Amino acid sequence: MALFNRKKSTTSAAPAAASAPAAAPVAVLDRDAFGAATQAVGDVTGSYDLDVTHSRVGFSARHAMVTTVRGAFTDFAGEATIDTAEPARSSVTLTIQAASVNTGQEQRDGHLRTGDFFDVETYPTITFVSTQVSRPEADLWSIAGELTIKDVTRPVTVEFEQTGSAKDPYGNLRVGFEGSTTINRADWGLSFNAALETGGVLVSEKIKLDFDISAIARTA
């Protein structure tokens, strides 16, 4: 029987095969999805304070080896000195209140605050202090520094892209950066885990850190 009861053609020649439909466009990350970044000033040299209400210090981890859980710290402060002519003279400091960890699920956040992870009662802050800053390209910055969690200090390097500068409606000069790096949480004593029956562990040791930064220039 013909497939789907299709009747055999009575013509002597088979019709030409229909053209395959055009492939649907593949969705890709569009860096300009929000519109082109502004450049209010060509030289962003100066001293800046982190605008915490328009910045994000986030992280993501693999859960049960099948999905990604994302979170952020909601209470932090930082400052930076930017020197575009001599990038090595630039510096960054960041202080995070560990208890402000937020993954959108209270029970999980409560567990993260315990001794299994951040132990916030004993170690209330997480800090990053830069030790070396370089500028490999005009809009790329490499910031090496010391990350301290639970009184354990280890070197970390974060690659940042300078995303633009702008004058806001209140007269503030703003500069933006986006950066990320990956660390092994066990290096800082955050070693809690549970084995899965199917292999692997409940929480990945590798953690991705993400930084979306808006900084405001200090006025004289």
7: DSSP letter: P
State the pairing for strand pair 152-167/173-184.
antiparallel
Q: What is the mean pLDDT of the chain?
A: 82
Per the listing, tokens 């605050």 go with: 113
* CATH number assigned to the domain comprising residue 141: 2.40.128.110
Q: What is the mean pLDDT of residues 163-172?
A: 88
Contacting residues for 83 by C-beta, under 8 A, at least 6 apart: 45, 89, 90
Residue 12 in this model has a pLDDT that exceeds 60: no
Does 183 map to a domain? yes
Q: How many helices (H) and strands (E) does the chain have?
A: 1, 11
Does 7 map to a domain? no
Does 8 map to a domain? no
**What would the pLDDT profile of 99-120 be if each residue is shown by its tens digit?**
999 989 898 899 889 988 899 9
Q: How many domains does the chain have?
A: 1
The per-residue b/e assignment along 21-49, b for 16 or more CB within 10 angstroms, e otherwise, is: eeeeeeeeeeeeeeeeeeeeeeebebebe
Domain coverage including residue 132:
44-217
Cα–chain center distance at 194: 26
Does 191 map to a domain? yes
Residue 5 in this model has a pLDDT that exceeds 90: no
Over its C-alpha atoms, the chain yields an Rg (Å, rounded) of 25
Does 33 map to a domain? no
Does 115 map to a domain? yes
Secondary structure (3-state) at 21: coil
Count, residues in the chain: 220
Task: Output the six-digit token pair for 9.
Answer: 């053609």
Cα–chain center distance at 203: 18
**What would the pLDDT profile of 147-159 be if each residue is shown by its tens digit?**
999 999 999 999 9
The pLDDT score that the predictor gives to residue 1 is 39
Does 5 map to a domain? no
Residue 78 burial (C-beta neighbours within 10 Å; 0-12, 13-18, 19+)? buried
Does 19 map to a domain? no
**What would the pLDDT profile of 19-38 be if each residue is shown by its tens digit?**
545 555 554 445 556 566 66
